[in-house]
Amino acid sequence: MRRKAAVAGHFYPAHATAIKRQIESLITETTPQREVMGAVAPHAGYVYSGPVAVKVYQRIKAAQTILLLGPNHGAGMDMAAPPKAAIMAQGTWDMPNGEADINLALSSLLMNETDLLEDAPWAHEWEHSLEVQVPFLQYFNGDIQIVPIIIWNLADEEITSLAAALARGLKKYGRPVTVIASTDFSHYIPHELAKLKDAMAIEKIIALDGMGLVEVVRRERISMCGYLATAVVIETLKALGATKAELVDYKTSGDVSGDYASVVGYGGLVIS
């Protein structure tokens, strides 16, 4: 199955040369790449979240295979029970700057470890949260393979269960895989309030406290769309030996638009 780029020409340019030009325009510093276990990156249009995303991706030397987790923004909302965690287990993503094949060997291992993953390629058709990560990965790391998972809803015990299953599958795979959580932070609140709320969420990520992140997001009503995906990534990487998370950058859309009355927060972190 081939998935066409859904948001090329909207969230990021539609042509390879324009993508390259925009990414290079976002680079404001020179920094060496290093091997990390994973990262947290935003997924808005490049004009808004690109300055944060590029600082994440220029720092990480990603493995050839990337396990991508993000929120499901609406696929299956008309269903009685949308897939809790929808994986696209095989196929190819046709991107403007080259194909990204799905790593069937890894996706099969992961699906064998848990019933929480449902092979639902249709759920990925219009979802942007993972797609916008791919051009950055291709620019900084060349030819890549991906395994995409989008999350609709998980109970607390399902978060830990899915994370444990992913960790088991990754161990059985036995080759390097970079695990990335795609999320934006607060949505459509004043700039200073967004910074305050998002700092609470970022504190939990830096502490590698996935369930603490879930708790603070719910308690403080932080409108962080990918908090479940981020919690799963944190708990997965901890099970694989992660000991450190670092904040790379944080901005809001107001830093770009000048409108600080209603902003979206963007945070970038690396996990090692």
Q: What is the pLDDT of residue 76?
A: 67
Contact at 8 Å (CB) between 157 and 37? no
For the stretch 201-223, pLDDT in tens is: 999 999 999 999 999 999 999 99
For the stretch 218-261, pLDDT in tens is: 999 999 999 999 999 999 999 999 999 999 999 999 999 999 99
Higher pLDDT, 266 or 30: 266
Mention every residue, 6+ apart, whose C-beta is less than 8 A from residue 263: 186, 188, 189, 190, 191, 194, 252, 253, 254
Instruction: For residues 237 and 251, give the distance between their C-alpha atoms in angstroms, rounded to a whole number.
Output: 25
Contact at 8 Å (CB) between 97 and 139? yes
Pairing of strands 92-95, 177-182: unpaired
Q: What is the mean pLDDT of residues 92-107?
A: 98
The phi and psi torsions of 110 (rounded to 5 degrees) equal: -65, -45
**Residue 81 pLDDT grade (very low, low, confident, very high; cuts 50, 70, 90):** confident
**Residue 87 pLDDT grade (very low, low, confident, very high; cuts 50, 70, 90):** very high
Q: What is the pLDDT of residue 32?
A: 92
Instruction: For residues 182 and 128, give the distance between their C-alpha atoms in angstroms, rounded to a whole number.
Output: 10
Q: What is the pLDDT of residue 208?
A: 99
For the stretch 155-206, pLDDT in tens is: 999 999 999 999 999 999 999 999 999 999 999 999 999 999 999 999 999 9
In order of start, what are the domains of the chain with their CATH numbers? Answer: 2-271 (3.40.830.10)
pLDDT of 79 > 90? The answer is no
3-state SS, residue 105: helix
Q: What is the pLDDT of residue 75?
A: 77
Q: What is the pLDDT of residue 80?
A: 62
**Residue 13 pLDDT grade (very low, low, confident, very high; cuts 50, 70, 90):** very high
Joined together, the tokens standing for residue 272 give: 């090692």
- The continuous run of DSSP H or E covering 160 comes out as helix 156-173
For the stretch 25-66, pLDDT in tens is: 999 999 999 999 999 999 999 999 999 999 999 999 999 999
Integer CA distances (angstroms), 166 to 85, 179, 264, 269, in order: 12, 10, 30, 20
Which residue in the block uniquely carries the two structure tokens 């390879």? 16
Count of residues making up the chain: 272
3-state SS, residue 159: helix
